[in-house]
Amino acid sequence: MQMKAKEIREMSEEQRISLLNETTEKLFKLRVQARMERLDSPSEVVKAKKIIAQIKTIQNALNK
């Protein structure tokens, strides 16, 4: 699930919070899978972290 910053900015605050929660949960599950050595694509962890960082950065910029 790759998202562009523009798409995230166009979302409502509620949608961003929902996406942040979903992505955080997904990252947790991926980390558990990685510990159990059953992770199919390790790049998914990096992608999830990137989305979380984008959402938090945009939320901080919009709240100023």
Q: Where are the domains of the chain?
A: 10-63
Instruction: Supply the DSSP symbol for 24.
Output: H
Give residue 25's pLDDT band: very low, low, confident or very high (50, 70, 90): very high
pLDDT in tens, 30-62: 999 888 888 788 899 999 999 999 999 999 998
Cα angle 51, 63, 46 (rounded to 5 degrees) comes to 10
Q: What is the pTM of this model?
A: 0.84
Residue 29, helix vs strand vs coil = helix
